[in-house]
Amino acid sequence: MEIREAKNTEIEEVIRIERECFPIEEAAKEEDIRKRFQAFKENFIVAVIDNKVVGFINGCTTDIPKLPDDLYHDISLHKPDGLYQTVFGLDVLPDYRRKGVAGQLLNYLIKISKERGKSGIVLTCKNHLIKYYEKFGFIHQGISDSSHGGAKWNDMLLLFDEKQIKS
């Protein structure tokens, strides 16, 4: 498996995977994915097996350790030098789940976020994924204010320097 930044030629695969992995209410629209890719391509990481994109992780960077819904739709809020990497989605095709693909994508994002001098990573997840993200060091911050897709979300935060105070 190869984990790396997405290539321009792979955007169609990323869009297809997003549609397959999320309910229509929660999936990013094609137009939003294209705008995000133009604004922060360096934050689109793909997993490739046998020359096939089987998953990806993406998100913008921000100065606050939260993931408000506005960040999903307004690329002008992306701060290239922001302190926190966000995760908008961690998508793996069904046939490749439970094989470590998601974990490798997340570990790669953690690694490059540290290398880029970020303070941490923020994401939201559903209840059944809290324990999964905690295995990577994320701390459950409580129920999120997010109403993205009409679902209930949980705020999760991974700080790279344990001395940092939770916000």
Torsion of CA 130, 146, 159, 34, to 10 degrees: 100
pLDDT category at 165 given cuts 50, 70, 90 is very low
For the stretch 84-99, pLDDT in tens is 999 999 999 999 999 9
d(CA 94, CA 40): 26
d(CA 156, CA 25): 21
- Does the pLDDT value for residue 114 go beyond 50? yes
For the stretch 66-79, pLDDT in tens is 998 899 889 899 99
pLDDT category at 10 given cuts 50, 70, 90 is very high
Q: What is the pLDDT of residue 161?
A: 82
- Does the pLDDT value for residue 151 go beyond 90? no
The token pair at 6 is 């997405």
Rounded to the nearest 10 degrees, what angle do helices 11-21 and 30-40 cross at? 130
The token pair at 114 is 């540290």
Contact between residue 119 and residue 81 where contact means Cβ atoms under 8 Å apart:
no
